[in-house]
């Protein structure tokens, strides 16, 4: 799944009042107007969005938030009553259906926080670092399907959002980030805590705005939420100078959006002829495989129906886990660098690859020329920039995968002859591969294999928990050994690989889905990068469970050192070299400092009871699971390699 080609980044275009000097280095763009769309047109545009949909959500608890209709929204102000720009901003968020934000205050955003205190609708979950706030907003969006919202001040507050914005763009997460900015007259003067955040984030946002007129706030907020959630979702940033926040105005809530270019480029419903061509390729194939990604997360029902009608086995990307039930006999689980042997075997031997909502990422394809080299390729994606970018398809459809699957299912249901296609021999061949090359791990005495810890967690939660992770070995094991049967259960930093993601993402998930069990499966390296968010979890009393797989090392880098650098340790040991026999740092002390119950387990025999205690304890809990650092994530296809290069044996106890 991929991002709509970046728009030209906008500034509001009404000139500031005469008293305000125009900012330097700013180009005013011509104004555009569009007629207010009709109700039916609005519904149609929402329908083709890959986030907002008129269908039922994939699960009963993951709901997509919709804007509040203007006629039902009750404002705190009289229609003609002037109010500050900051109050206009907060009301605009309320009108978009926002109920939770993740905001950290500072000098340039104080007005926004003061306005938030006047809102009876929006709750602020106070992070302890802006990166924690932006990752929490991402976790909220990934777990719910709604647009996440984070707010930061100017300068360092704004730049602390950068990793989260880049992560949201790469993983197509709908998010609106709002930053305070120095007053307009000071922009470009190197004022205290001034950074040109629009320029800094230009290439890592789907779109961004510098607000130069207070009257533009209602329109810009509407546009930002529409841009973030329609087409290929992504992050949108709104930068608001402090004097704009303080200026009094009577807002016009009826001003239409001005997105004629963007609206004209949104994909149209798929061509029936193209869909029939895809069905014809399916009927002619002998060894088809579905390769599904994050673009299918809102189309789980349609995907399952398509598989039911065709009997085609399904391989998922890291981002696509949960779109198709991992417990199904037709699931091949994850493909790619650390995917199952049988998923990669299926792609290698396939004669038809149905690539739905994917972007042919290098961690999936490895050596591009060798990837699915025997197959005809069908690529369906909402982003035209992804079609043919890495791998040239034989048939491509640029459009919403939900609509495409609905169209394909309709054709299959009407043409019963296609249903006679039998892939039983192909499925039997893949079942043999599953038996021959299962996901497995070894046990050494009483040491706890990290894979086993995740397997036990899967059993004890019935596979129903929302899982967030940091980045590294624990992330790959969580992808392999926890069975995701529903969309939006799996929250991980895929494209960017941002360590420190797991804990704040779990906060966002717990806020969005208070009914769900939320577990952060983390590594000691990733966990400590945003360990301060334990304070947020305690203060908000969020029932986040943290299962820390602690090996005292930067595990994935150690694995590469073992395999490719003769096990030479280059700053990958995270413990105290003068006291190697002790666990350092003592993670239980972090939990104690934040008044969070915690325990440590180091023997396999004690693990199941320890995890059960973690799950049974009300509120937050940290379980420090001590695991050996010699473990390797297997299978592994080395970077740039092909299926023939797959590694299935060995660990750090072996010399290479």
Which residues are known catalytic residues?
130, 192-193, 242, 556
Burial class (CB in 10 A: 0-12, 13-18, 19+), 118: middle
What gap in Å lies between CA 88 and CA 374, rounded to an integer?
Answer: 57
Distances (CA, A) of 160 to 80, 86, 154, 177, 448: 38, 22, 10, 12, 36
Which residues contact residue 102 at a Cβ distance below 8 angstroms, ignoring those fewer than 6 apart? 124, 125, 126, 127, 132, 133, 134, 136, 137, 140, 148, 149, 150, 151, 507, 508
What gap in Å lies between CA 257 and CA 263, rounded to an integer?
Answer: 10
Rg of the chain (C-alpha set):
25
What gap in Å lies between CA 106 and CA 521, rounded to an integer?
Answer: 32
Q: How far apart are the first and last CA of the chain?
A: 37
Peptide bond into 635 cis (omega under 30): yes
DSSP of 21-60: PPPTT--PPPP---PPPPHHHHHHHHHHSSSS-SSPPSSS
What gap in Å lies between CA 231 and CA 269, rounded to an integer?
Answer: 12
What gap in Å lies between CA 207 and CA 235, rounded to an integer?
Answer: 7
What gap in Å lies between CA 358 and CA 1, rounded to an integer?
Answer: 4
Task: Give the up-direction half-sphere exposure of residue 369: CA atoms within 13 A in the CB hemisphere.
Answer: 0
What gap in Å lies between CA 83 and CA 89, rounded to an integer?
Answer: 10
What gap in Å lies between CA 290 and CA 352, rounded to an integer?
Answer: 9
What gap in Å lies between CA 216 and CA 175, rounded to an integer?
Answer: 20
What gap in Å lies between CA 233 and CA 89, rounded to an integer?
Answer: 22
**Residue 492 contacts residue 521 (beta carbons within 8 Å):** no
């Amino acid at each position: 799944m991929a991002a709509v080609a970046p728009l030209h980044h906008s500034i509001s275009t009404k000139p500031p009042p005469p008293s305000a000097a125009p900012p330097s280095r700013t180009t005013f763009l011509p104004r555009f107007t569009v007629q207010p769309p009709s109700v039916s047109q609005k519904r149609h545009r929402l329908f083709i969005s890959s986030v907002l949909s008129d269908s039922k959500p994939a699960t009963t608890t993951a709901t997509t938030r919709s804007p509040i209709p203007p006629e039902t929204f009750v404002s705190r102000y009289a229609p003609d009553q002037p109010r500050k720009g900051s109050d206009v901003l907060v009301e605009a968020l309320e009108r978009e259906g926002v109920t939770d934000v993740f905001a950290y205050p500072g000098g340039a955003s104080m007005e926004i926080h003061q306005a938030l205190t006047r809102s009876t609708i929006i709750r602020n979950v106070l992070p302890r670092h802006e990166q924690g706030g932006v990752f929490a907003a991402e976790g909220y969006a990934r777990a719910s399907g709604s647009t996440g919202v984070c707010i930061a001040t100017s300068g360092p507050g704004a730049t602390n959002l950068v990793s989260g914005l880049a992560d949201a763009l790469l993983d197509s997460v709908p998010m609106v980030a709002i930053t305070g900015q120095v007053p307009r007259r000071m922009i470009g003067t190197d004022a205290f805590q001034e950074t040109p955040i629009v320029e800094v984030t230009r290439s890592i946002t789907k779109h961004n705005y510098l607000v130069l007129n207070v009257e533009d706030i209602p329109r810009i907020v509407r546009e930002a939420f529409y841009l973030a959630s329609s087409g290929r979702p992504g992050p949108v940033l709104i930068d608001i100078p402090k004097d704009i926040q303080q200026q009094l105005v009577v807002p016009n809530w009826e001003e239409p959006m001005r997105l004629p270019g963007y609206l004209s480029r949104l994909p149209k419903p798929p061509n029936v002829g193209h869909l029939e061509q895809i069905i014809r390729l399916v009927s002619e194939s002998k060894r088809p495989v579905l390769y599904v990604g994050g673009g299918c997360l809102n189309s789980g029902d349609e995907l399952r129906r398509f598989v039911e009608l065709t009997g085609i086995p399904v391989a998922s990307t890291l981002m696509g886990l949960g779109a198709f039930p991992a417990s199904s006999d037709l699931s091949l689980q994850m493909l790619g660098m650390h995917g199952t042997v049988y998923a990669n075997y299926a792609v290698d031997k396939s004669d038809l690859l149905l690539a739905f909502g994917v972007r042919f990422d290098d961690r999936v394809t490895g050596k591009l020329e060798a990837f699915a080299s025997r197959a005809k390729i069908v690529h369906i994606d909402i982003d035209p920039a992804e079609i043919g970018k890495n791998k040239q398809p034989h048939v491509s459809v640029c459009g919403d995968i939900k609509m495409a699957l609905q169209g394909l299912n309709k054709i299959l249901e009407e043409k019963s002859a296609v249903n006679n296609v039998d892939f039983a021999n192909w499925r039997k061949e893949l079942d043999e591969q599953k038996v021959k090359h299962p996901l497995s791990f070894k046990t050494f005495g009483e040491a706890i294999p990290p894979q086993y810890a995740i397997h036990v967690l899967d059993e004890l939660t019935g596979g129903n928990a929302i899982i967030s992770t940091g980045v590294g070995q624990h992330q790959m094991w969580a992808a392999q050994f926890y069975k995701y049967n529903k969309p939006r259960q799996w929250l991980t930093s895929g494209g960017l690989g941002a360590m420190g993601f797991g804990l704040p993402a779990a906060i966002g998930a717990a806020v969005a889905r208070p009914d769900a069990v939320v577990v952060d499966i983390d590594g000691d390296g990733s966990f400590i990068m945003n360990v301060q968010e334990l304070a947020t979890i305690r203060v908000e009393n969020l029932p986040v469970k943290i299962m820390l797989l602690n090996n005292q090392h930067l595990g994935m880098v150690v694995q590469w050192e073992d395999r490719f650098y003769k096990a030479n340790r280059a700053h990958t040991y995270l413990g105290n070299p003068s006291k190697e026999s002790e666990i350092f740092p003592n993670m239980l002390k972090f939990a104690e400092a934040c008044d969070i119950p915690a325990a440590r387990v180091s023997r396999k025999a004690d693990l199941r009871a320890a995890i059960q205690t973690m799950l049974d304890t009300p509120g937050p809990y940290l379980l420090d699971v001590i695991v050996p650092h010699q473990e390797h994530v297997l299978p592994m296809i080395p970077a740039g390699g092909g299926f023939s290069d797959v590694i299935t044996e060995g660990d750090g106890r072996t010399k290479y």
